[in-house]
Structure 1
Amino acid sequence: MKRTLLSTLTLSVLATFAHAGDTTKSNAAPVAVAAASTASTASTAGAPISGIDTQFIDTSVRPQDDFFTYLNGKWLKSTEIPADKASWGTFMQLRDDSQAHLRGIIEAAQKDPHKKAGTDVQKIGDLYASFMDEAKLETLGVKPLAGELQRIRTLKDKKGLPELVAHLSKIGVATPYGIRVGQDARASTKYATYIGQGGLGMPDRDYYLKLDDKRMADTRAKYEAHVAQILTLAGAKNAAEQAKAIVDFETELAKVQWTKVENRDPVKRYNKMSVAELGALTPGYDWNAALAAAGVGNKLDYVIVAQPSYLTGFNQVLAKTDLATLKSYFEWQLLREYSPYLSKAFVDANFAFYGTTLTGVTENRPRWKIGVSTVEGALGEAVGRQYVGKYFPAERKARMEELVKNVLAAYKDSIDTLDWMTPATKKEAQAKLAKFTPKIGYPNKWRDYSKLSIRSDDLVGNVKRASEFGYNRNIAKLGKPIDREEWGMTPQTVNAYYNSSMNEIVFPASILQPPFFDMRADDAVNYGAIGAVIGHEIGHGFDDKGSQSDGDGNLRDWWSKEDRAAFQARADMLVKQYNGYSPIPGYNVNGELTLGENIGDNSGLAIAYKAYKISLKGQPAPVIDGLTGDQRFFMGFGQVWRSKMREAQQIVQVKTDPHSPGQFRANGTVMNHPAFYEAFGVKEGDKMYLAPKDRVTIW
């Protein structure tokens, strides 16, 4: 079951108010750019550079009408999305760069003649070697899964389902429910067992249920054909009939699943109950057997159920589904998970649906890139430890710590000066802010992989053992003290996150590079970019979800009714704004689904702007390349959202992703902030103009 407690900057990462104008700009607020093609590649006599990619500015577009396209227009016109990508932009570019660095580390481990058995170097090198040995995989076909397929096919009756679900979950296969261990959201000093919905093979329930949408209906039909194709490759004789039964079963699961918007409510998702009460939700389903097989049966007094009505619905669907269909379904989910690690026929078929049909990608990634991702998935911190040793200088962490300190100070000041919050609630908010824990770059304590066995000639076995290792590591937390040194991302991840139960903000090393963080650049662009990232993640502690937890990480209502109502009124305005954005005709942003991230963006840029002003210590900001400090600040924010996305992937995003598309994260955020209007001379009648009464300022 995937980790669900992190509020990230983007799913594959970020963050806005502004108030006083920059003292160095003219009233007309022109945007002058240097004659040089880019302001971020040159520096004279050690002077700070602007950090702005002026080469991509499209002067045929007014920043007052479309800030995102003005700033990134030439890039948007000239850049093609790579054939192996569903989207392309700053995040993917940094990800590609880090993958190239990781490739060097991993291939060096593979070729190391002195590597010792059982070391991280041996495991990294041998896992990669097992993935890259395509000739061997071609001779094996589906044979590496023979034992798992046999386990499913010999299931005698439904009484064996709890044990089968537990086993498949351990090896990474999607099942109708998942069991994981995490901090108890109402008692964050201890771990608890969580149970939540799952088991679909497509991205969201809408792909099964919104059949009045031609694209959804077409994708569902292609999904059924894909299921049949994979089953045929595995030797099924009646694959088409099985595929129809499988998709019908998943459709019934989809009908009773909670929507992504419903799942955003942490209070509704917290349903503490005894095992006996759990059993009452699903008469006849043996939860004692399920929990014992999952490895938690003798360690718990209670469970926390995320979607109680789903479990009841799942039990009803189970009762009316014949055993043959259930076997076919679990066989399909096994094959779906492991197709990328089998012979070319499985790899190609898997990519044809999950790559081309779902996201519009026409070419699979190079084998080495998928191999690097596979090693990262299994041995992420082992690779990350070497990555930061080579690519993350100590001075970068030190400067980042200063930025974090200033943004936290700005947040403290902002809470004190809010005009819509009463003193009692402000006191609670300040208490929470004081307990934030920043983590920067990499963990203080690295993960121990000594119990994970990796062989150079056993790819499927390696993937299974790595999944079981991760599963068992999670389950083993139950009954132990909270591990506050643990990270939810690897250092090489181009992302950042907030964890409400830990009340921590985490910034991996790989995001701390241009355009997010430029050691050569003037502070303006860094506060607009990584400063807004910092503010965004702090903002998750005070968004519609995070604000329901206190500084100790416990779900607790620390608000007065009046203050919560005032907060909600502002949040509702933001929902309405983003509901009006449409990346492609007929598919609008879901303002409720994206609310938390939009609040993070809104608050993050606002607080970063305040922090930037604090950093100036009362002095005027320099003009660099004809750009004022305030202009560079907002441009630094806008350029990190430079991105393009294929239409099919755009649909996946608006259906499933809590983050808004990049152009709306840029434009939608700055339009709410007064300092942007002053920096660029935005006036009534301009397309970027919002009347003051319609602008949203929350924190």
Structure 2
Amino acid sequence: MKHVVILFLTLFILASCTNSTKSDKKLIEITGVDATLTPGDDFYRFANGKWYDSVSIPASQAGVGAYMFMNYPQRMRLQGILDSVSRGEHPKGSIEQKVGDFYASGMDTATINKRGYEPIKPTLASIDAITDVTSLMTFVANQIKVNNSSIMAFGVGPDDKNSSMNIAHAYQTGLGLPDRDYYFKSDSSVVAIQDAYKTYLTTLFQLTGSSAATAKEDAETVYEIDKQLADSHRTRVERRDVIANYNMMAITDLKNTQPNIGWAKFLEQLDAQTDSIDIGQPAYYDKLNTLLKSTPINAWKLYLKANTIETYASDLSQPFVDAAFDFTKVISGQAVQKLRGEIMASAVDNYLGEALGQLYVKKYFPERAKERMLDLVNNIQKAYAVRIDKLEWMSDSTKIKAKEKLSAMTKKIGYPDKWKDYDNVQISRDTYFENIVSAAAASYERELAKLGKPVDRSEWYTTPSTVTAYNNPSANEIVFPAGILQSPYFDNDADDALNYGGIGMVIGHEITHTFDDQGAQYDKDGNVKDWWTKDDYAKFKSRIQQVIDQYSTFTVLDSLHIKGDMTVGENTADIAGIAVAYDAFKMTKQGQDSTKVGEFTPDQRFFLSIARIWKVKMKDEFLRLWINNNPHSPPVWRVNGPLMNSTPFYNAFDVKPEDKMFLSKEDRITIW
């Protein structure tokens, strides 16, 4: 009886997916393929080689192409909107007025340069007035309210074990370099970044009045505090442990274990009414508690000054902007500064993102694209259910739980149903710095208002114009903003091969995060809860280890390898995302056909589309930064890695044992 039910379900899904496919799609020609290469040796280069060898990275960017570098042309779109809206007259308090005036205030570099660092002098004076740890913590709390965080990282969000309620959270923080490991490595590339950071700190102190000698000495003091804090940080791999990074603690207990922090008073000054807090990484706060007592107060004051100037450097006069860029240049390899319009497009998106998002969606995102995208998501979700049913390693009882979780998933596409309110943000055309502070304060108040309240499942955690997609395990939701719903990911008028290989792969990827090494620990309601049988979970973990082991062998730059244990979640999502997108594609009319479109079959177009969405060229410095900090594999391995494990890819391009990407069937990884 069980097999009959599964067969019926498969036939039903096949029919529903096929019927939903439009037949009037344009067939886009695929160009840029380097036919001199063998697809099975390096498919990324085969698909993108001509483009890669001919494209130049703009001097103002660290890379060019798709994925995160699509935000560059996207910012040009936003800048066009902002240029237009900032020139018009709009009712005071309207989103057009606030967005336009914010942009105009940031474009007024003459006024910004004239003010120098005048806007932060009151904050620096407040630091000078600190006399002890108590007044230091008061300063820290007050600055969190305007997004100038330093040694304490406070936020409000869902409780991992009761996802319907918002609670207070604290995380490790306090570093000026990208990650803890930068303070302890001694290879030349990292030492160069350490030196550049110290130079940056020295320059910031000089720009605010210190002599060269004093500034250099003060920079060393700040760096040493940074390094001591870094020593307590968990690594990026350790932070993947969901259970270890959930530590609910009573404020009364923290009074005894971390008395120097003064949690009760600190939370009171934040206006945060709570008797408990989830501390993600307790060792950091243990170390901070010790350092607050052992480090001289004057050293802490230097640290807070450096942190404040760093926070606002890019919002002050040109010398501060230049200093910040000199440091960025060493880390990323970016040759010249971005144009002011591009910088301001990002700033408006950061501070007034859903206000700008309304203008963006109105101009660039038609409702019919949302409908088509929902079809794709539904079809891939159905195909995923079939894959779960076919898993040989999973028991029937766990399959039922997995499909319940899959079915309960919330799908958000394009833009929020309910927009954020910016009524309490005060924006003027001639006070850029104050505009930033007002927007930051409003954001904090919005966050604080959620504390102790039920979670609003309609809330978005990215702006509609951002080129991204995400999975939120505590809400069991997948989110696809309007920003990513454009070529090469999605084209409402393109054929199914391109859309299923493009945005379809991304949809499958985001669904899989529900079932990766972290997401698999959350139940269908978004709570951290064990829904597996013990034997099934052991089998699942063994497959996760296969992904870690395989990707750890991939070389990226010189002898630099992918960090398999840091990127395992994203790699798992890539492998399964492609597999389920292909299954869904095969349920469409085009997917069941073998007629060539130009030079390529539908299956070949599907896989070429995958390679196109990760078409990226970047500076070596940025690639090195990526490998050390980004949980995603570099683009070349987001293509070649999962395709090495895809038997349909082998069939589509006749991959042979002598080809470099070839793996024997028993070595190809299948998780979902």
Deviation, structure 1 residue 347: 0.5
Q: Does 1:121 align with 2:86?
A: no
Deviations 1:392-448 (A, max 9, x none): 111111111111110000011111110110111111111111110001111111111
Letter in 2 for 1:234: T
Deviation, structure 1 residue 623: 1.8
1:263 alignment partner, one of 231, 236, 239: 239
Deviations 1:174-228 (A, max 9, x none): 41221100000100111110011101111011111112x1211221122111100
SS in 1 for 2:231: helix
Q: Does 1:681 align with 2:654?
A: yes
Task: Tell whether the 8 Å contact from 1:492 to 1:510 is kept in structure 2 after alignment.
Answer: yes
> TM-score, length-normalised on structure 2?
0.94
SS in 2 for 1:194: strand
Q: Does 1:57 align with 2:30?
A: no
Task: Tell whether the 8 Å contact from 1:181 to 1:477 is kept in structure 2 after alignment.
Answer: yes
> Aligned equivalents of 2:150 and 2:614: distance in 1?
35
Q: Does 1:151 align with 2:126?
A: yes
Q: Does 1:77 align with 2:50?
A: no
Describe how 1:415-454 pairs up with structure 2 within 5 A.
415-454=388-427
> Aligned equivalents of 2:188 and 2:592: distance in 1?
58
Deviation, structure 1 residue 619: 4.2
> Aligned equivalents of 1:690 and 1:275: distance in 2?
54
Describe how 1:224-239 pairs up with structure 2 within 5 A.
224-237=198-211, 238-239=214-215
> Aligned equivalents of 2:132 and 2:256: distance in 1?
21
Alpha carbons of structure 1 residues 98 and 617: separation in structure 2 relative to 1, 3 Å = closer
Task: Tell whether the 8 Å contact from 2:408 to 2:476 is kept in structure 1 after alignment.
Answer: yes
Identical columns (%): 40
Deviation, structure 1 residue 630: 1.1
Question: Structure 1: any 5+ residue segments left out of the alignment?
Answer: 1-45
> Aligned equivalents of 1:341 and 1:507: distance in 2?
30
Alpha carbons of structure 1 residues 267 and 244: separation in structure 2 relative to 1, 3 Å = same
Q: Which moved more, 1:182-191 or 1:577-586?
A: 577-586
Alpha carbons of structure 1 residues 308 and 686: separation in structure 2 relative to 1, 3 Å = same
Q: Which moved more, 1:583-592 or 1:599-608?
A: 583-592
Q: Which has the higher contact order (CA 8 A, sep 6+)?
A: 1
Task: Tell whether the 8 Å contact from 2:251 to 2:276 is kept in structure 1 after alignment.
Answer: yes
> Aligned equivalents of 2:388 and 2:136: distance in 1?
52
Could you tell me which residue of structure 2 aligns to residue 462 of structure 1? Answer: 435
2:353 alignment partner, one of 375, 380, 397: 380
> Aligned equivalents of 1:93 and 1:245: distance in 2?
36
SS in 1 for 2:538: helix
Deviation, structure 1 residue 649: 1.0
1:584 alignment partner, one of 552, 557, 580: 557
Could you tell me which residue of structure 1 aligns to residue 18 of structure 2? Answer: none
> Aligned equivalents of 2:625 and 2:492: distance in 1?
36
Task: Tell whether the 8 Å contact from 1:550 to 1:558 is kept in structure 2 after alignment.
Answer: yes
Letter in 2 for 1:223: Y
1:196 alignment partner, one of 171, 184, 201: 171
1:658 alignment partner, one of 631, 636, 659: 631
SS in 1 for 2:587: helix
Deviations 1:625-673 (A, max 9, x none): 1211111111111111110111111111111110110000000011101
Deviation, structure 1 residue 92: 4.9
Q: Does 1:307 align with 2:288?
A: no
Letter in 2 for 1:456: R
Letter in 1 for 2:126: R
Could you tell me which residue of structure 2 aligns to residue 6 of structure 1? Answer: none
Deviation, structure 1 residue 480: 2.2
Deviation, structure 1 residue 74: 0.6
Letter in 1 for 2:175: L
> Aligned equivalents of 2:375 and 2:216: distance in 1?
60
Letter in 2 for 1:474: E
> Stretches of 4+ moved more than 6 A in 1?
none
Could you tell me which residue of structure 1 aligns to residue 7 of structure 2? Answer: none
Q: Does 1:552 align with 2:525?
A: yes
Q: Does 1:361 align with 2:334?
A: yes
Deviation, structure 1 residue 613: 1.1
Alpha carbons of structure 1 residues 129 and 619: separation in structure 2 relative to 1, 3 Å = closer
SS in 1 for 2:586: helix
Q: Does 1:391 align with 2:364?
A: yes
SS in 2 for 1:137: helix
Could you tell me which residue of structure 2 aligns to residue 15 of structure 1? Answer: none
> TM-score, length-normalised on structure 1?
0.91
Could you tell me which residue of structure 2 aligns to residue 110 of structure 1? Answer: 86
> Aligned equivalents of 1:461 and 1:127: distance in 2?
10
Could you tell me which residue of structure 2 aligns to residue 282 of structure 1? Answer: 258
Alpha carbons of structure 1 residues 165 and 51: separation in structure 2 relative to 1, 3 Å = farther
Task: Tell whether the 8 Å contact from 1:172 to 1:467 is kept in structure 2 after alignment.
Answer: yes
1:345 alignment partner, one of 301, 311, 319: 319
Alpha carbons of structure 1 residues 280 and 258: separation in structure 2 relative to 1, 3 Å = farther
Task: Tell whether the 8 Å contact from 1:406 to 1:615 is kept in structure 2 after alignment.
Answer: no
Letter in 2 for 1:283: P
Deviation, structure 1 residue 116: 1.8
Could you tell me which residue of structure 1 aligns to residue 14 of structure 2? Answer: none
> Aligned equivalents of 1:329 and 1:100: distance in 2?
37
